[in-house]
Structure 1
Amino acid sequence: MAKEIERKFLVADTAWRDNVEAAIEIRQFYLATGPGRTVRIRISNGVEALLTLKFSGPGRGRDEYEYGVPLSEALEMQAFALGRVIEKTRHHVRYGGYLYEVDVFAGSLEGLVIAELETPDIVAAENLPSWLGRDVTDDGRYYNASLALGGESGGDLVLAG
C-alpha cells in the first residue's frame, strides 16, 4: 500500500512545457465511488492497465492500492464506467527537486490543465514554480472522480483560455 499525499493546482501559463521529461497518454474511468473511496481503471499509452483502489480519511493523505489488469479486461470493463471516461496527457515536470504531474485534459474537459505534487514535504509558496495558479487541493470539483461524474462540460471549472 502506498500513502498518497497530494496537492493540486490550476496551471497559470505554459512555461512548464520547457521542462517536460515524459508524457503519458491516459484514459481512465471509475467503476465505483463513494464517500472516501474510489475504484478506478487507468490505461496508460494504450498498453498498460491498472486497477486502483483509493481510501481517504481526515486530512490530505489517502491509502492507495494498485494492481495490474490485463488490457483486454480493462477495455471490457470500460462498458461499466460511471460518468465520462477521462482522457488526458500527463506530463512529468521537475522543478526545485520535486516531480510535478501536469495533466492536460482532452475531450469534453479540453482546456483544463491541473498540476499535482505528491510529497510528504510542505513546500512553501515561494518555492513553488511560477507557472502554478490557484491551489485547488481542497476543491473537490477538480478531483478526477468528480470530473468523471460531473456534467458534460467543465461547467464552472476554470479552463485555460
Structure 2
Amino acid sequence: MRKSRQRESWWNLRKSRQLHLSAAEALPLVHAAKQQGALLTAETCHHYLTLAAEEVPNSATQYKCCPPVRGQPNRELLWKALYEGELDMVVSDHSPCTPDLKKLEQGDFLSAWGGISSLQFGRLTSLDEILLPRGTVGLSPRCFELIPLRDWSFT
C-alpha cells in the first residue's frame, strides 16, 4: 500500500514529457497517468502522423528513424489522440545526416543512420492539420500567426 501512495505522489510532484511517442499502444498509459493527476505532456513527431510503414519503399533508408515509423492503423490512432488532447504537441525530430551514413545506395536498414531529416518537410506535411498548444511551451497565441511579409516564429 505504501509503494502505491509513493507512486501516486510521484506523479503529482514532478513534471515530465513523453518524447517522440510513436506507438499507439502507449496511449492508454499516457491517459491513465493524466487521469491520476500526472503533470505529463506527451508529444509525437510529424513523420509519425504522415508516414506509414506499409508506404515506405523497400530499401528506402531515408525513412529510417528511431522510434520507427509504424503502420497506418497506428498513425490513425495517433491522430485521434492528438485531436482528443492525449497528445499535447507535434515536434520535429530533425536528425539529418549525409547520404553515405543513410546507406542510400546499399539500402541497408540495419546499418543506416537512425535519424530522419524532417525540418524541410515537416511544416508542409502537417501544419495545416495541427493546432499547437502554445501555452504549453509558454508562447503567446500571436507567435504562430502565419501572416505574409512578417517574420515567422517556430519553436
TM-score when normalising by structure 2: 0.27
The structure that has the greater radius of gyration is: 2
Q: Which has the higher helix share?
A: 2
TM-score when normalising by structure 1: 0.26
Q: Which has the higher strand share?
A: 1
